[in-house]
Amino acid sequence: MAKKIDKKQFGERVGLGTRALFVKLDEQIAENPAEVVKELSHTVAMIPIAEIEVNPFQPRDQFDAAALQELATSIQTYGLIQPITVRRLSAQEYQLISGERRLRASKMAGLTEIPAYIRLANDQEMLEMALVENIQRENLNAIEVAITYQRLKDECNLTDDSLAERVGKQRSTITNYRNLLKLPPDIQTAIKEKRLSTGHAKVLAGVEDYGVQNSLFHETLKQGLSVRALESLINSYNQAQQPAKKTASKLDDGYEQVQQRFREFFGTRGVQLKLKSPGKGQIVIPFDSDGQLNDLLDLLA
């Protein structure tokens, strides 16, 4: 029978750093790899950046310099909120699985260590089961849930449909959570610290303008706005941004007289003369029933 990992000792080694974490990890992998994968799936370790090699099969090799610098500045201020994922090759050697943009930005920010989830070789099925189990835990905050959904997609190559089936959630629910990872770091931090509810966060994630989003975020915290009140503010903003309806342009006196003659002839004030350009336009003759249409035809005849 496989020996169960000592979670207390495991957690203590995580707290002591990467070196201590792997003092007896090889033995534990040999004895019970599934339990090790389960523990590693939700354990974040600090990995020396110098010990991480980029995956040679990484399809993406172009990164926007300005966006990288922006992320590096954010990391200097708030730290790296979403850990990268690496595969353990040896006690002091790792290979990047996902998060190259975050890794590059962390180097630019001057970090020497980076938070990472650690995977073992050939642990695909075990990792998927562990992450699905983790997502069912009750003490996860919304950002942790969002990160786990994103990891399942990225690391286990799941489609939206298969992911929804695995975790027993609607696709829209998963999408709403993953959208939280697009929020600025200060808003994500507020979610993790429970200063901002998941409901508020999902509403803010739907605001595309960063300046407006940030303003609404601070207003929500300052005023203690409810989710409904926040939605009302956003609706007011959206309505204010809509272009005002064009008022009907006034016709020149000559065209106004022509329009009035048409109205007298057809017996309805609904007739409109619409000009598109000098000398061009259309005559609009409304009718409310087949009988009224026949009356108009009789007048034309």
Residue 219, burial from CB neighbour count under 10 angstroms (0-12, 13-18, 19+): middle
Print the SS3 string covering the chain. CCCCCCHHHHHHHHHHCHHHHCCCHHHHHHHCHHHHHHHHHCCCEEEEHHHEECCCCCCCCCCCHHHHHHHHHHHHHHCCCCCEEEEEEECCEEEEEECHHHHHHHHHCCCCEEEEEEECCCCHHHHHHHHHHHHCCCCCCHHHHHHHHHHHHHHHCCCHHHHHHHHCCCHHHHHHHHHHHHCCHHHHHHHHCCCCCHHHHHHHHCCCCHHHHHHHHHHHHHHCCCHHHHHHHHHHHHHHHCCCCCCCCCCCHHHHHHHHHHHHHHCCCCCEEEEEECCEEEEECCCCCHHHHHHHHHHHC
Would you say how long the chain is, in residues? 301
Question: Catalytic one among 100, 113, 144, 231?
Answer: 100
Measuring CA to CA, which residue among 241, 239, 219, 222 is closest to residue 230? 219
Tell me which amino acid residue 51 is: E
CA distance 145 to 135: 6
> Does residue 231 carry a catalytic annotation?
no
Q: Which residues are catalytic?
A: 100
